[in-house]
Structure formats: C-alpha cells, structure tokens
Amino acid sequence: MSRKKKRQQPLLNIKIESYAAEGKSIARLEDGKVIFVDNSIPGDVVDAVIIKDKKSWAQARMLKLVTPSPQRIEPFCRHFGVCGGCKWQMLPYSQQLVYKQQQVMDQLQRIGHLELPEMQPIIGSPHERYYRNKLEFTFSTHRYLTFEQIADRDEKITPVPALGFHAPGLFDKVVEIHTCYLQSEPTNLLLKVLREYTEKHNLPYYDYKAQYGWLRNIILRVARTGEILINLIIHHEDKENREGVLNHILENIPNVTSLHYTINPKVNDTIHDREVICYHGKDHIEETLEQFRFKISPKSFFQTNTYQAETLYRVTREFAGLTGNETLYDLYCGTGSIGIFCSGAAKKVIGIEVVEDAISDAKENATLNGLTNCLFYAGDVEKICTDSFFAQHGRPDVIITDPPRAGMTEKLIQQLLKIRALKVVYVSCNPATQARDLALLNEAYKITRLQPVDMFPHTHHIENVALLELR
C-alpha cells in the first residue's frame, strides 16, 4: 500500500499512552512507530487519521473518541473544541500542571542534554478562569461552522457575520463567542452590546478574503485596579457610524476609563504602525504589581495574567539574589516591568529593548514610580553592550533575560558568554528554545535552580525560570 493511501486509512482503537508537548499526546502502532495525536489525553482510546507521515513518526487527527480516559472531565465552556482557546478544559487543572512540569523537564533533557538540578514543583495559577487582562475579538463576515452545523442546514449556505475569535488555522473565519471565561466583565457584556448594536444598524463587518468592510477588531484590557481600556479598530473613517458605536459603548459599558479607536486599512491586523486616537477619558490605564504602578496604553505589552506575573517576577527576583549592591541588566525588558519590580533590591537597573515605543513606556513607568536607579535604552543588546557602555554604566553583576518564544539569538548568547556576569536568570515562555539556549550557555554557566510557573490555565503554554551561575 502506498504511503498516501496508508495515510488516508483510519487508525481504529488507538490507545493514547502519554503526553508529548504543545498539546499533543502519544500513541504507538504495532511496529512501534510513534503517532502524535491532537486533542487527546493519556488513557483515551481513539480513532484517528494520519495527516503527516514521516519515517519514524506521524501526526494524526482524532476522528472519534471511542473510550474516554478516566482523567477526562466535562469542559465548562460551550465553545470548547471549536474556538481553540482553552484546549485542556477536559483535564482537571491539577493534571494539567503535572503534564506541564513534565513538558519542561522533557524538553530541557531531550533538546538541551543538560545536567539539571532538581526542579521545584510548578506554581499553578490561583485563578483558573477570568485570568487574562487583555483580549482581542474579531468582526468577520464569515462565521465558522462545524461539520455538524453545516449538515443541519438544508438551504444553501450563505456567509453569516460573527464577532469572536479566529477559528484555529483559518484567517478569514471567526467563531461566534457569546460567553468567554478568559476575562472578567465587562467582556461578555461588551460582546452582547456590540453584536446587538451592529446588527440593528446593519454595520458592515470586515471580509478578510475580499478585504472590504468596516468593523475589524475590538481590544479590551481590564486591570485589577478597576480601570478599563477599549480600542475599536475600523478599516476606514466613517465619522457618523464611528461616533455612534463609541457613544453606544460609553452608554452601555460602565466605568470605561480609556476609550480609543484605530483606523487600519492594511491587509493584516497589526496596529503597531497605526495611530491610536483617544476618544474618551485618559490615554492609558494603570495596573499594579506589588507596590509598583504601570502605565498601559493601547499598544503596550504587559504580562497577560497579572496575578501570576507577580509570582513569576517574585521567582525571578529571588533567583537573582540581589543584595542592593548589584548592577542588574534587564534584557528584552519591554516596558520595564521586571527591572522595575526588582529595582528595590538592586543598586542600578539597565533595561535594553529593541522596540523604541516599549522603552518610552519603560521610562514613563520608572518616573511613575519615582525610581532614579533605572535606565532604559532602545537597541540591540549586542550593539549596545560595548566596553564604552560598560565603562559608563558598569558591567552587569546579574543579567535577567526574558526573550520571545523564538528565544535568544546566537549572537546575543555569544555576547553573554563574553560578558560573563556572575548570574543569569533566564525567564522563558518556550522551554524548547530555552533548552537550546541553555545548551549554548553551558560552556560558562551551570544551571542551579529551575522553577516552572503556569500563566495560562487550560492551555499547553508554560513559563520556566532558570538560574545560571558562572562556573
């Protein structure tokens, strides 16, 4: 049988044996070949079809859950399995944490081949629901329909507008969301208010294939200070309808602190290069981490789970072991949150970030907190950290690095090996790239502490903090 025909044949009654990573679980064929299966958990018996077939492994899509694992529980969200946002709701949270800790250790060992200390128990999120401080919803002319919904329709299927989340893997279709458990109110109220108003006034949603329409996105930030920021993104200016929507939000959503709109005529949804216009209230909101205050504007980056951000930063500060005499360098510092959080225990904080707007926010946050020992610079670390820079600001005693999911560049790693700070605290949102980077740093540094922290319940994402000490 050809590989293509074999791939199309369903695999029946496959027993899921263990968890792999990135939301996939493992089954094995009789010949020992490893099969990675999405949307399954250890203990499930499933029917599946292979969608990618390699010599030693294959990837499969589950067709049918034949026998559920004893670990399975009933998901609490009606959109589970369709919107793609909380893929692990069928697992008790305690078991999610077990698999997440296993994922960190497996990737550090398998990818990094590192000598590791005993890993500290993962720190779970105190809030399993309503933990996000930011969400973005999309207006689309094409509502995503499941196969069952399509089969139930006798008439010709015509596009139906939707307000919700992009369907997984589809740029033009949106899952209609009525109740979301990721963010506290007024999130669901805002969805209801917008849906009713736009339908009543026949306001056009955006068609992502044809690239026409008007309403594109709505971004909502809810701070635990009680302040609320809303940014409406539209394709082009239409003053009458724009003011109508924005005024309706103000009339129906209580306590809006900061209301904005952004005009985005581009093909993609990014607004980093677009002007954000403040329509009502302040041009920002404020959030707190411990006693520190942070200004959050519509484009600002801020850790999405505020409560766990405090936990993550406390771990980072503890690992840094600051005594008040150290010069601390905060790489990939963003808006300065980690450096500012650690500033009370450091002699001096030097934050470096390539995004200039983020550095502007970092400087404002330092001023907001009355800090005089924090300096922030925009640019590439390897270009900024020169001998003349060190002569002016001091060489780092401790370095904190919190790179994006892609990890650090090899050029930066070589720079760290050259700088040879006594300690490096590596905060990672991707244990796979962290393992790769730690292997490169291994020639000069020994890993002495590891602490996983869960920021995103019901997802496979996991943060890990590693302490490296100079050999």
The values of phi and psi at residue 329, to 5°, are -105, 130
- What's residue 156's pLDDT? 57
- What's residue 238's pLDDT? 96
Rounded to 5°, angle at Cα 305 from 299 and 306: 85
- Cα Dmax for the chain: 75
**Omega of the bond leading into 186 within 30 degrees of 0 (cis):** yes
Residue type, 323: T
The DSSP element (H or E) to which 167 belongs, if any, is none
CA distance 109 to 27: 21
Instruction: Count Cβ atoms below 10 Å from residue 380 Cβ, excluding itself.
Output: 14
CA distance 167 to 149: 15
CA distance 90 to 41: 9
- What's residue 151's pLDDT? 59
CA distance 438 to 273: 34
- What's residue 277's pLDDT? 97
- 3-state secondary structure string, 324-364? CCCEEEEECCCCCHHHHHHHHHCCEEEEEECCHHHHHHHHH
Tokens in use for 202?
Answer: 């026949």
pTM of the model: 0.91
CA distance 333 to 375: 11
CA distance 40 to 61: 9
Beta-strand pair 374-378/348-353: parallel
Task: Tell me how far CA of residue 399 lies from CA of 320, 338, 352, 413, in angstroms.
Answer: 8, 11, 11, 12
CA distance 286 to 365: 10
CA distance 162 to 325: 56
Residues of the chain with pLDDT under 50: 1
Q: Which of 383, 384, 307, 368 is nearest to 335 (CA)?
A: 368
The DSSP element (H or E) to which 196 belongs, if any, is helix 187-200
Are 364 and 350 contacting, i.e. CB atoms less than 8 angstroms apart? no
Task: Tell me how far CA of residue 391 lies from CA of 387, 423, 430, 447, in angstroms.
Answer: 6, 20, 34, 29
CA distance 99 to 315: 21
Q: Which long-range contacts (CB under 8 A, 24 or more apart) does 3-10 make?
A: 3/53, 6/50, 6/53, 7/49, 7/50, 7/51, 7/53, 7/58, 8/49, 8/50, 9/49, 9/50, 10/47, 10/48, 10/49, 10/63
Are 180 and 129 contacting, i.e. CB atoms less than 8 angstroms apart? no
Q: Which of 319, 347, 348 is nearest to 469 (CA)?
A: 319
- What's residue 375's pLDDT? 96
Active site residues: 429
Task: Tell me how far CA of residue 24 lies from CA of 55, 282, 407, in angstroms.
Answer: 19, 44, 22
Residues sharing a CB contact under 8 Å with residue 256, sequence separation 6 or more, in sequence order:
228, 230, 249, 250, 280, 281
- What's residue 381's pLDDT? 81
Helices vs strands, H then E, count in the chain:
12, 21
Spell out the domains of the chain, with CATH numbers in brackets. Answer: 3-72 (2.40.50.140), 97-127+305-470 (3.40.50.150), 134-289 (2.40.50.1070)
Residue type, 66: V
Beta-strand pair 398-401/327-331: parallel
- What's residue 170's pLDDT? 84
192 CA to centre of own chain: 25
